[in-house]
C-alpha cells in the first residue's frame, strides 16, 4: 500500500466523491479508513474509533465477520461469476432464494429479484410495479406516490420519488408521474401538528386526497421507508403503515416498502413491515443483506405479484429488466453467510436493546445541550439528533456546526454521520452495552467542546 502522505495528497485529485462537492473534497481531506475490526474502524493515522455509522447503515455484523469472509473466499475459488439471465443460473443464488423465501415468509414475500444494491432494488420495484399492472390489463397505472423527506437512492427513478431537493434539483427534469405527500415528521410538518397519531391521520388523508386527485386508476404504487432513514430517522406513528396498507388496497395500488436500511433487523424487528404489522406487495432490500462485504440487493415479491407474472400466457410478463450482477454467486454466498450469522446472533434483539439504551442516552444529552432541537429513534439502532440554533424558533444551525461536532466526536473515539442539520447514528447491530456507552460519552464530550 502507498504511504499515508501519498494517500492524503492524492485523495480527490483523481476521483469525485459521491454526495460531496469536489472542491470541498480537495480543500477538506476526508478521514481515510484503512482497517476495521468488530464495531471499530482505524484511520490512516492509526486512530481507532467506534463506527456509529455502521459503514452506511449496512455493516450490521461488524468488520470482522469471519464466516462471511470465508464464504466469499470459497465462492471465489469455486465460481467467481455466472449470470442468471434467461437460460443459466448458479447454485449459490438458488440456495439464497430458498433461504430468503423462508426469512421473509412472515412478510408474505415469496420470490426474490436480485440486484447490485439499494438504488437498483428501487429501480427494479418501480419497473416491476408498472409491468404488474400492464400484465393485468391496467395499462394506465404508471404513477408513483412517495413521502417528502424519503430517500430512495439516486437512479433516475429513485431520485424522482425522493423527497429531498438535495438529490433532485441538479438532475431535473426527473421522471414524470411522481408525486409526494407530507411525511409523518412531528418536528416539522405543514399541518403544524406535533401529536404523532393525529399527524399520521393527516398524512394518510393527504395520501387519499392525492390518489383522488390523480385518479386511482393512474397510480402504480406507493413507496415508503418504514422508518425514514437518510431524511433524519423519522419513525411514523404505529397507525400510519396499517392505514397506508388499507388505502392502497382500496385503490388497487401496490405498496412497496423501501427496506434498504430496515430489513434484516435494524429496527429491532426482522423487517420494518413486520415492525408495523403490515404485508407489502414488494420489499426493496440491500445493504445488510451482505453487510457491505459485497455489493448486492434483493427485491422481495408477494404471492400476488408472483401469481400474476407466473400465470401470464400472453408474453407480457417476460421481464425485460436485470443487471449483469443480478444473482452474482459471490454476493449470494456472502448473503447466505450474513443471513446465517444474522439469525444465529439474533441481531434484531440486540438492536432493540442497544437502540433503547442509545435513544435514552441521547434524550438525556438533549436535556444538557440547547443545540439539540429534536431526538428521533426508539426503534432499534436508528437514532438522529436534529441540531438547531434556537429551540423556540427551530431555526437551523449554521452548516459548519454539525461538521465541527462530527470532528469533535471523532476526536473522542466515535465516528458519526452528518446529514444536513442531523447527526445520524446507525452503528453495527452487534454493538455491546459498553460500546453504546462509549458512543454516548463521545457525543457528550463533542457537544461539551462546542460550548
Q: How far is the CB of 53 from ligand PLP (least distance, A)?
A: 11
The cell numbers describing 197, all together, are: 397519531
Q: How far is the CB of 119 from ligand PLP (least distance, A)?
A: 3
**Residue ranges in contact with ligand PLP by CB under 6 A:** 56, 117-119, 122, 151-153, 225, 229-230, 258, 260-261, 286
The helix-helix angle for 118-135 and 303-310 (nearest 10°) equals 60
Alpha-carbon distance of 82 to 105, in angstroms, equals 27
> In terms of CB distance, is 143 or 152 closer to ligand PLP?
152
b/e code 378-388 from CB counts within 10 Å (16+ = b): bbbbbbbbbbb
| For the chain, the helix, strand and coil percentages under 3-state DSSP, each to the nearest 5 | 45, 15, 40
198 by DSSP, 3-state: which?
A: helix
Write out the DSSP string of 367-399: HH-TTEEEEE--SSS-EEEEEEEETTTTEEPPT
Strand partners, 51: 415
Q: How far is the CB of 109 from ligand PLP (least distance, A)?
A: 17
> In terms of CB distance, is 131 or 419 closer to ligand PLP?
419
> In terms of CB distance, is 57 or 104 closer to ligand PLP?
57
The residue with its CB nearest to ligand PLP is 118
> In terms of CB distance, is 56 or 79 closer to ligand PLP?
56
Alpha-carbon distance of 430 to 62, in angstroms, equals 7
Q: How far is the CB of 229 from ligand PLP (least distance, A)?
A: 5
Q: How far is the CB of 192 from ligand PLP (least distance, A)?
A: 27
Q: How far is the CB of 307 from ligand PLP (least distance, A)?
A: 27
> In terms of CB distance, is 261 or 283 closer to ligand PLP?
261
> In terms of CB distance, is 153 or 355 closer to ligand PLP?
153
Write out the DSSP string of 228-272: B-TTT-BPPPTTHHHHHHHHHHHTT-EEEEE-TTTTTTTTSSSSH
Amino acid at each position: 500500500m502507498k504511504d499515508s502522505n501519498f494517500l492524503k495528497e492524492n485523495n480527490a485529485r483523481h476521483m469525485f466523491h459521491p454526495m460531496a462537492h469536489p472542491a470541498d473534497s480537495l480543500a477538506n481531506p476526508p478521514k481515510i479508513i484503512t482497517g476495521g475490526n468488530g464495531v471499530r474502524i482505524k484511520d490512516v493515522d492509526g486512530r481507532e474509533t467506534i463506527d456509529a455509522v455502521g459503514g452506511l447503515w449496512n455493516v450490521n455484523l461488524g468488520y470482522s465477520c469471519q464466516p462471511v469472509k470465508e464464504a466469499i473466499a470459497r465462492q471465489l475459488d469455486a465460481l467467481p461469476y455466472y449470470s442468471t439471465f434467461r437460460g443459466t443460473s448458479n447454485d449459490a443464488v438458488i440456495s439464497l432464494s430458498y433461504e430468503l423465501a423462508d426469512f421473509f415468509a412472515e412478510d408474505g414475500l415469496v420470490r426474490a429479484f436480485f440486484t447490485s444494491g439499494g438504488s437498483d432494488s428501487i429501480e427494479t420495484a418501480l419497473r416491476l410495479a408498472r409491468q404488474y399492472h400492464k400484465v393485468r390489463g391496467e395499462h394506465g397505472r404508471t404513477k408513483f406516490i412517495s413521502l417528502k423527506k424519503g430517500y430512495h437512492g439516486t437512479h433516475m427513478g429513485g431520485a424522482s420519488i425522493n423527497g429531498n431537493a438535495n438529490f433532485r434539483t441538479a438532475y431535473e427534469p426527473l421522471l414524470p408521474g411522481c408525486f409526494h405527500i407530507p411525511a409523518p415528521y412531528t418536528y416539522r410538518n405543514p399541518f403544524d401538528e406535533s401529536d404523532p397519531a393525529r399527524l399520521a391521520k393527516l398524512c394518510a388523508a393527504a395520501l387519499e386526497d392525492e390518489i383522488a386527485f390523480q385518479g386511482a386508476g393512474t397510480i402504480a404504487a406507493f413507496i415508503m421507508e418504514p422508518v425514514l432513514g437518510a431524511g433524519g430517522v423519522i419513525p411514523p406513528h404505529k397507525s400510519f403503515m396499517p392505514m397506508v396498507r388499507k388505502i392502497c388496497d382500496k385503490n388497487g395500488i401496490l405498496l412497496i416498502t423501501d427496506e434498504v436500511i430496515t430489513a434484516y433487523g435494524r429496527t429491532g424487528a426482522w423487517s420494518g413491515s413486520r415492525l408495523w404489522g403490515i404485508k407489502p406487495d414488494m420489499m426493496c432490500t440491500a445493504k445488510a443483506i451482505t453487510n457491505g462485504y459485497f455489493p448486492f440487493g434483493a427485491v422481495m415479491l408477494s404471492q400476488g405479484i408472483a401469481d400474476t407474472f407466473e400465470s401470464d400466457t400472453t408474453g407480457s410478463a417476460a421481464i425485460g429488466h436485470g443487471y449483469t450482477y443480478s444473482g452474482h454467486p459471490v454476493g449470494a454466498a456472502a448473503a447466505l453467510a450474513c443471513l446465517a450469522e444474522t439469525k444465529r446472533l439474533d441481531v434484531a434483539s440486540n438492536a432493540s436493546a442497544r437502540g433503547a439504551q442509545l435513544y435514552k442516552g441521547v434524550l438525556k444529552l438533549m436535556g444538557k445541550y440547547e443545540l439539540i432541537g429534536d431526538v428521533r429513534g426508539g426503534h432499534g439502532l436508528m437514532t438522529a439528533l436534529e441540531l438547531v440554533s434556537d429551540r423556540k424558533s427551530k431555526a437551523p444551525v449554521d452548516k459548519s456546526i454539525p461538521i465541527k461536532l462530527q470532528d469533535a466526536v471523532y476526536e473522542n473515539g466515535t465516528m458519526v454521520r452528518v446529514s444536513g442539520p442531523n447527526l445520524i447514528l446507525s452503528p453495527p447491530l452487534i454493538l455491546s452495552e459498553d460500546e453504546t456507552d462509549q458512543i454516548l460519552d463521545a457525543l457528550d464530550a463533542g457537544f461539551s467542546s462546542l460550548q
